[in-house]
Amino acid sequence: MEGKFDYVRPESTVAEISGIMSRTGQFSVPVIGDGGYLGLVTASDMISSNRPRSTKAISIVSAVQPIDKDSKIGDACEIMWRQNLRSLPVSADGSIAGLLTFFSVAEWALKDESISNAKVDDVPLNGFSAVDKEADLDIARVKLRDEEVSNIILDEDPPELVVDEHEYAKRISRIPKSRAKRGERGGEKFKFLSSFPLNISERISIRATSSDTIGDVLRSMVDNRATHATVEGMVMTYRDLLRFLCMGDRGLRALDNQTIKLVSKTKLPEGSLLQFRKDLESFASQWDEIHGIESLKELKISVKDTKSKGSKRLFLMSANLISDSSRLHVNKRGWDEMSAFKSVMAALRAFMRDE
């Protein structure tokens, strides 16, 4: 953990907190009153404020519980991943002793060869929110707040630019002191909100391929103080990495212990089988994130080809899923194995979200 950190009082303003973030690079700031630690103000909390020079820390603080210094790193990673935090207070003897940040976790992970030598391809990536670069900036703010994400990309292919809540919070609070009251009353804040996300976007500086090691990506992130990277047209965030660190092998275990089975009555290309396994690992990880992997009792996917059309074969794929509370049976067809499998996975993910 990082033992030196800045904190604020309950009466401190959002603008003061923004100044601390800009000066120190902290992603969140503890609020400490006369009775001790009260909570954490994050960039996400700050973007909900319409009046940064009058809004007090106590009115937006999040009740983030500190983790004890003797806790395991995996537990801390899970809290940070699930609560969308890039730093977490660490308590000792009833007071805050420091902040555990994503970068300090990354430094720890770099010393573990079993983690640092793993491939980027082993990290399941979640979907990433996007916003049109010509949309009203307030739409970006609402997405950041309501979807509880820390980054959104500008809608372009491949992804190059990202709007980060930390940068947003700093920029939105920079109304000059001499014009603070007149600016807020005269609409300066609203003028800012009606500008474009492009104006405060950051270029994604870290680029990786699926064959790179996680250690390569983590080292680049630490050196550049970056929390996201592009991976062959997709975006990897600090949350993807934290999730991998705290539960990375659960998806693999679900496959290895036959909770998830793939049964094929026809020979499939090796490349397709590898992609199927990767997608099923990602599904298992996402199921664990939403429902807990123990609630998934069985998922069996059966594959067979039913007829040919020239060099093409019509594949039938059926999926049977059994969980603690419900069941799903779905059949999909396709003239190649990948299109049929993608249809099955789309149905499974929709079921997972709706259950």
Per the CB < 8 A criterion, the answer to whether 93 and 184 are in contact is no
Rounded to whole angstroms, what are the CA distances from 246 to 115, 197, 258? 11, 33, 22
* Mean pLDDT (whole number) for 175-184: 43
Q: Which two tokens stand for residue 192?
A: 């800012």
Greatest alpha-carbon pair distance for the chain in Å reads 79
Task: Report the topology of domain 120-244.
Answer: CBS-domain (3.10.580)
Where do you find CATH 3.30.160.100 in the chain?
A: 249-354
Which residue is listed with tokens 């603070």?
A: 180
Examine the pLDDT at 177 and tell me if it is beyond 50.
no
Examine the pLDDT at 354 and tell me if it is beyond 90.
no
Examine the pLDDT at 161 and tell me if it is beyond 90.
no
Residue 252 is predicted with a pLDDT of 52
What does the pLDDT look like over 66-81, one tens digit per residue?
Answer: 999 888 888 888 888 8
Q: Which two tokens stand for residue 31?
A: 């609020």
What does the pLDDT look like over 316-351, one tens digit per residue?
Answer: 899 999 998 889 999 998 888 888 899 999 999 999
Where do you find CATH 3.10.580.10 in the chain?
A: 14-100, 120-244
Phi, psi for residue 107 in degrees, rounded to 5: -60, -40
Which residue is listed with tokens 């809290």?
A: 79
Examine the pLDDT at 146 and tell me if it is beyond 80.
no
Residue 116 is predicted with a pLDDT of 85
Identify which has the larger pLDDT, 121 or 131: 121
Q: Which two tokens stand for residue 204?
A: 């994604």
* Mean pLDDT (whole number) for 11-20: 84
The hierarchical CATH code for the domain 14-100 is 3.10.580.10
The proportion of the chain whose per-residue pLDDT surpasses 90, expressed as a percent, equals 14
Mean pLDDT, rounded, of the chain = 78
Residue 217 burial class via C-beta count within 10 angstroms: exposed 0-12, middle 13-18, buried 19 and up = buried
Residue 343 is predicted with a pLDDT of 92
Examine the pLDDT at 98 and tell me if it is beyond 70.
yes
Task: Report the topology of domain 249-354.
Answer: Double Stranded RNA Binding Domain (3.30.160)
Which of 95-109, 125-139, 272-286 has the lowest average pLDDT? 125-139
Examine the pLDDT at 186 and tell me if it is beyond 90.
no
What's the rounded Cα separation, in Å, for the pair 228 and 315? 38
Examine the pLDDT at 119 and tell me if it is beyond 60.
yes
What's the rounded Cα separation, in Å, for the pair 139 and 166? 16
> What is the CA angle 229-3-16, rounded to 5?
75
What does the pLDDT look like over 234-288, one tens digit per residue?
Answer: 778 888 888 888 765 555 556 666 788 888 877 788 778 878 887 888 888 888 8
Helix, strand, coil fractions of the chain, as percent rounded to 5: 45, 25, 30
Residue 3 — pLDDT band, cuts 50, 70, 90? confident
Identify which has the larger pLDDT, 138 or 19: 19
What does the pLDDT look like over 189-210, one tens digit per residue?
Answer: 545 554 555 555 667 778 888 8
Alpha-carbon Rg for the chain in angstroms: 23
Query: Which residue intervals of the chain are DSSP H helices?
Result: 14-24, 43-46, 57-60, 73-82, 102-110, 113-116, 137-146, 165-172, 180-186, 188-193, 214-224, 238-247, 250-256, 270-290, 337-354
Provide the 3-class DSSP secondary structure of residue 173.
Answer: coil
Residue 88 — pLDDT band, cuts 50, 70, 90? very high
Identify which of 170, 13, 1, 168 has the alpha carbon closest to the alpha carbon of residue 88. Answer: 1
What does the pLDDT look like over 40-55, one tens digit per residue?
Answer: 888 777 766 666 667 7
Per the CB < 8 A criterion, the answer to whether 288 and 327 are in contact is no
* Mean pLDDT (whole number) for 78-92: 86
Residue 294 is predicted with a pLDDT of 82
* Mean pLDDT (whole number) for 103-128: 83
Q: Which two tokens stand for residue 233?
A: 């047209």
Residue 9 is predicted with a pLDDT of 93
